[in-house]
Structure 1
Amino acid sequence: MEAWVFDLDGVLVDSEPVWEEVRRAFVAGHGGTWQPDTQSRLMGMSTPEWASYLHELGVALPPGEIARQVVARMAERYREHVPLMPHAQETVRRLAGRHALGLASSSPRALIDVVLDAADLAGCFAATVSTEEVARGKPAPDGYLEAASRLGVEPRSCVAVEDSSNGLRSAHTAGMRVVAVPHPRYPPAPDALALASAVVRDLGSLTSDLFG
C-alpha cells in the first residue's frame, strides 16, 4: 500500500461524545427534538448536511447559522482539551515514517486545523480533506477520492482507517482497503463493519505491513 488515509472523528480524536454533547444541547436550547437515531445519522455527514438535519429537527435558525454556532462551540471545547484516541500520536508518526498519509474528515476545515495543530500532527499529513471541500459527505466516496487525488495515488493503493458506518461505506465505495477501529460507544452497523478488510481494537494495532 502506498498511502494511508485516516478519518479524524472517532479514529484520531475521541470527538463523537463531544459532538453529541454540543449538538444535543444546541438542539434542546433552540426548540428542536433530538431523536433516538440522531447521533448515528449525524456521524459522517458534512457540515451543510448536519446543519440542515438539525434544522429539520426543529432548530429555528438557518442551517448556515446553526453550523457557525455549533462549530464555534466545538472549537472552544478543543482549545480547552483535544481528546486524542489511545495511541493516536505514536501511530500516525510511526506510519508517516514509511508511507504518505492523508486525512478525509467530515469535520469543517477550521476544526481539522485546530486538532492537528494542537496534537502536533499537522506535519505528518501530506493531504487533508474536509467534506466541506467536496460535493458530498460520507457515505459518498468524495472525500476519500479527493484525498487520494491530492496524495497523487490511486484509491486502490490506499488503506483507509475508519470507525463509523458512514465512513466505512465511504472508503469502501472509493475502492480503498479499509481497516475498522470500532468506537466502543458508537459501534458501526454490522453490514458496514463487514466491508472492512481488517478490524483492530485500537490504533496501536495498526502496522505498515497489515496488508503486505
Structure 2
Amino acid sequence: MITQSHSLLNWSPQAVVFDCDGTLMDTERHWQDARNRAFGAFGLTPPPGFAERAKGVYYADCGRLMAEETQKPELAADLTRTLLEQFLTLVADDPVTMPGAVEFVRLLSGRLPLAVASNCPLEVVEESLSRAGLRRHFQHIVVPSLSVPGTGGEHPGKGGSDIVRPKPWPDVYATAARLCGVPPRTALAVEDSLTGVESARRAGLRVIGVGPQPAEEGAGRADLWVATLGSPHLQAWLRARMPGQAEAPEQG
C-alpha cells in the first residue's frame, strides 16, 4: 500500500521504463525451468539457493555461473546455449503477463514515453510483448549489446557507446531514458529483481519494485515496493499525475 505521505506521490515521471521478465511477463518461472533442464541435460544438480542468485542475471552470465557453481567451468558455453534454447521453447508455448501489467501499461500508453530495458535477448522481448498484445505501447526496447552495433538490441544511437552492458550495469536504463528524450532523474523504472533495481538506480532513475520485497539489503534501493502493478493505490497515483489525455487507440 502507498501511504499519502510517501514522497513518490509528490513526483511526476516524464517517462517509464519497464523490465520485462517478472515485471511485465510471467517468464521468471520459465527461466527457472530452463535452468533446471539445462542442469539436467549435463547430469548436474542445481546448487542450493541458485534460483534466487540467478534472478535477473543476464543469461550468458547465468550460464557461466551455472558452470562455476557446479565446478564445471568447461561447460559454460554449452550450459549458456542450452539455457537459452530451453527458455525460448518454454516462453513460446506459454506467454503470460504478470498481474496488473496489461492495465498498467495501457494506463500510461499515449500519456508518457514508454520503454523496456531487459537483460533478455531482443527476440525474446519482442516475441513475448507481441504475443501479449503489449509491443505497440513501447517506443523503445533496449537490451545488452556486447559486440557490434545492431546485434544485441536497440543501439544507443549516434554519439553513444557501441556496447550496452547488462544489468546491474546502468547502461540499459541510461540508454532507455535517453531514447525517451528525458533526463534519467525524471524517469521511473519498474523492476522485480535486485539486479534490475541496482541497474536503474546506478543510471539515476527512480524505481518501483514489484512483487514480494526481498529481504536483502539492496531492496532499500527502490523508492517503493508494491505487490503487483494492479495496486489500486499505484494506479490512482498515476491517474492523478497524468490527467487529461486519452489512451492510445486499440489496434488489431
Instruction: Name the TM-score class by shorter chain.
Output: 0.7 to 0.9
The range that moved more, 37-46 or 133-142, is: 133-142
Which residue in 2 is equivalent to 1:142?
Answer: 171
- Cα distance between partner residues in 1 of 2:182 and 2:19: 17
Q: Please give the alpha-carbon distance, in whole angstroms, between the structure 2 residues aligned to 1:120 and 1:131.
A: 23
Q: Report the more deviating stretch, 158-167 or 22-31.
A: 22-31
Q: Does 1:44 align with 2:53?
A: no
2:214 corresponds in structure 1 to: 188
Structure 2 CA distance for partners of 1:23 and 1:75, relative to 1, 3 Å? same
How far residue 33 of structure 1 moved from its aligned partner, in angstroms, is 3.4
- After superposition, where does 1:124-163 map in structure 2 within 5 Å? 124-132=137-145, 133=152, 134-163=163-192
1:23 aligns with 2:35: yes
Distance change >3 Å, CA 112–CA 59, structure 1 → 2: farther
Q: Whole-Å Cα distance in 2 between the matches of residues 20 and 141 of structure 1?
A: 25
**Are the equivalent residues in 1 in contact too, given 2:23–2:210 (CA < 8 A)?**
yes
Gaps of 5+ in 2: 1-12, 146-151, 153-162, 243-252
The answer to whether residue 202 in structure 2 is matched with residue 173 in structure 1 is yes
Give the Cα separation in 2 of the matches to 1:65 and 1:26. Answer: 9
Shift of 1:161: 0.5
Deviations 1:23-62 (A, max 9, x none): 1221132133311231222122223211211222355765
1:110 is aligned to: 123
C-alpha separation between the residues in 1 aligned to 2:241 and 2:60?
35
**Contact 2:17 2:188 survives alignment (8 Å):** yes
What amino acid maps onto 1:181 in structure 2? Answer: V
Aligned residue number for residue 83 of structure 1 = 96
What is the distance in 2 between the residues matched to 1:27 and 1:72? 13
> Superposition pairs for residues 7-18 of structure 1, below 5 Å?
7-18=19-30
Mean CA deviation greater in 66-75 or 115-124 = 66-75
State the Cα deviation string for residues 143-181 of structure 1 (Å, max 9, x = none).
Answer: 111211222221111100011111111111111111111
Distance 1:189 1:211, change over 3 A: farther
Helix, strand or coil at the partner of 1:194 = helix
Output one character per residue of 1:98-143: Cα deviation in whole Å (capped at 9) or x when no partner: 1111111111112111101101111111111113445432222121
In 2, the alpha carbon distance for the partners of 1:111 and 1:62 equals 24
* Native 8 Å contact 1:27 1:59 kept in 2: no
User: Percent identity between the aligned chains?
Assistant: 33
For this pair of structures, how many residues does the alignment match?
209
Distance 2:220 2:112 in 1: 26
2:226 alignment partner, one of 200, 205, 209? 200
CA distance in 1, matches of 2:126, 2:220: 32
Q: What SS does the corresponding residue of 2:25 show, helix, strand or coil? A: coil
Moved more, 30-39 or 160-169: 30-39
Flag the structure with larger Rg.
Answer: 2
The 3-state SS of whatever aligns with 1:103 is strand
The change in CA–CA distance for 1:64 and 1:110 in structure 2 (over 3 A counts) is: farther
What's the TM-score once normalised by structure 2's chain length?
0.75
Greater Cα offset, 59-68 or 20-29: 59-68
Q: For residues 140 and 209 of structure 1, what CA distance do their matches in structure 2 show? A: 31
